[in-house]
Amino acid sequence: MKLHGTMSVKEQTLHIGGVSCLELSEKYSTPLYVFDEELVRNNCREYVKYFKVNEYKNKVAYAGKAFLPMYMCKLIEEENLYLDVVSGGELYTAHKADFPMEKILFHGNNKTVEEIEMGIEWGVGIFVVDNFYELDLIEKICEKNQKTQNIYFRITPGIEAHTHDYIKTGQIDSKFGFALVNGDLYEAIEKLKDYKNIKLVGIHAHIGSQIFDVDPYIDTVDIMMNLVKEIKDKYNIEIKEVDLGGGIGVYYTKNDEPKTIKEFCESIIKRAEIICKSIGIKIPTLIIEPGRSIVANAGSTLYTIGSIKDIKDVRTYVSVDGGMTDNIRPSLYQAGYECAIINKIGQDKVNQVTVAGKCCESGDILITDTNIMEIESGDVIITTSTGAYGYSMASNYNKLQKPAVVSVINGESKLICKRQSYKDLLALEINE
């Protein structure tokens, strides 16, 4: 198992942020999400440094969908990041955490009237407008409230990238954004002439997730910069900001070989400089929206092992006290993870086991056929790199409670989200 961030081993026991995982499991019980705060902060700082936030006034907007307790809003504000939200709930979380509303980018392909009203009333910095319906709603709500709203248009650039594959599709078959090839974007720009309360300041594209290759970003930069020039030439509108979305890939297992934050940022900025020079435009402010690459490796989950079912010559199932309710990614996309017994680090891996969750679904498997040290019921197992799209995708299926979340740093642990109680599970139910 790869040790990430501040993970270290003392007397065969895994420590994160200087705190023993055994102590954490005893103090907070399991399942438990553990966040390495130093690693989250270091990742933010790498983005700020290499995306040239201070030098060029570029912006790094953390994609809240990856993991967004109020604690995280406060942390990213301290680290000088912007925030990308996609719902009224995420916006409300940021508002409650006193995150500056002008540093919010509001995404989503079907923002409701209520969400748009909330965003406009609270002074959200940018609406990333996805479609004609939304454009119209924003104009009407701004008119009613006598406000103006800065927007980006979300573009479907015809590039689709995931992990090792990337294709230039020219595709228009996406639920997101204005396509280039069928003229939708140009129609939206034309419409702006009639809208008095909307100001177009930028364009946005998001090409996929868990991307290891820089090339699709390079192509996206080229498309977006040419578009900036085209919009200036055709409509005399200056696009001041170009948002390239998120998607930068991370290590989950040894099959993954991600590039560093530095490599990604430097390649993007360098390409923007080259292309802008060659087509004769001023380099716009660049925005990037990382989610996974800020939090994935900083989060881990601790579980207690219960039943061990050894089916001779077939497989050994080791069941834990959580599963698809706290980590849906293996069931949803066959995502791989690494694991270890927290107080047996360094011991020989003598067993091959399948780590199963406790939900009533045969597909509730966290890791299939992994090599692990000697195990017994009661041992605490850790799965690493669960920081992104784990807690934020957690559910109450089978009425399992959402686990607690602790942040660890400098030898101290701090509870940032409580474990749900049985009472919490029934909080919305009416029992008359």
Q: Tell me the catalytic residues.
A: 360
User: What minimum distance in Å lies between the beta carbon of 210 and ligand PLP?
Assistant: 6
Whose tokens are 């595709």? That residue is 171
User: What minimum distance in Å lies between the beta carbon of 60 and ligand PLP?
Assistant: 11
C-beta of 66 vs 405, nearer to ligand PLP:
66
User: 92, 99, 24: which is closest to 405 by C-alpha?
Assistant: 24
Stretch 76-95 residues interacting with ligand PLP (CB under 6 A): 84
The DSSP code for 142 is: H
> Side-chain half-sphere of 330: how many Cα atoms within 13 Å?
25
360-377 CB burial, b ≥16 within 10 A, e <16: eeeebbbbeebebbebee
Binding mask 356-395 for ligand PLP (x = CB under 6 A): --------------------------------x-------
Ramachandran angles phi, psi of 252, nearest 5°: -110, -45
Cα dihedral value 171, 174, 179, 181, nearest 10? 20
Bridge partners of residue 32, in order along the sequence: 302, 404
Residue 289, token pair as written in the block: 């929206």
Q: Residues 176, 156: contact at Cβ < 8 Å?
A: yes
The DSSP code for 318 is: E
| Site residue total, ligand PLP (CB under 6 A) | 17
User: What minimum distance in Å lies between the beta carbon of 84 and ligand PLP?
Assistant: 6
C-beta of 15 vs 292, nearer to ligand PLP:
292
User: 141, 205, 209: which is closest to 178 by C-alpha?
Assistant: 205
10-20 CB burial, b ≥16 within 10 A, e <16: eeebbbbbebb
Stretch 268-307 residues interacting with ligand PLP (CB under 6 A): 289-293
C-beta of 195 vs 264, nearer to ligand PLP:
264
Q: CA angle, corner 370, sides to 364 and 374, nearest 5? A: 110
Question: Does the footprint of ligand PLP cover residue 111 (CB under 6 A)?
Answer: no
User: What minimum distance in Å lies between the beta carbon of 114 and ligand PLP?
Assistant: 21
Binding mask 209-238 for ligand PLP (x = CB under 6 A): x-----------------------------
Position among 248, 339, 365, 409 found at the interface with ligand PLP (CB under 6 A)? 248
Position among 88, 177, 245, 258 found at the interface with ligand PLP (CB under 6 A)? 245
C-beta of 21 vs 188, nearer to ligand PLP:
188
Whose tokens are 């050894």? That residue is 310
User: What minimum distance in Å lies between the beta carbon of 388 and ligand PLP?
Assistant: 6
User: What minimum distance in Å lies between the beta carbon of 311 and ligand PLP?
Assistant: 37
Position among 59, 103, 107, 111 found at the interface with ligand PLP (CB under 6 A)? 107
Question: Does the footprint of ligand PLP cover residue 63 (CB under 6 A)?
Answer: yes
How far apart are alpha carbons 74 and 344 in whole angstroms? 35
Bridge partners of residue 84, in order along the sequence: 63, 105
Position among 157, 158, 246, 357 found at the interface with ligand PLP (CB under 6 A)? 246
* Binding footprint of ligand PLP on the chain (CB under 6 A): 63, 65-66, 84, 107, 206, 209, 245-248, 289-293, 388
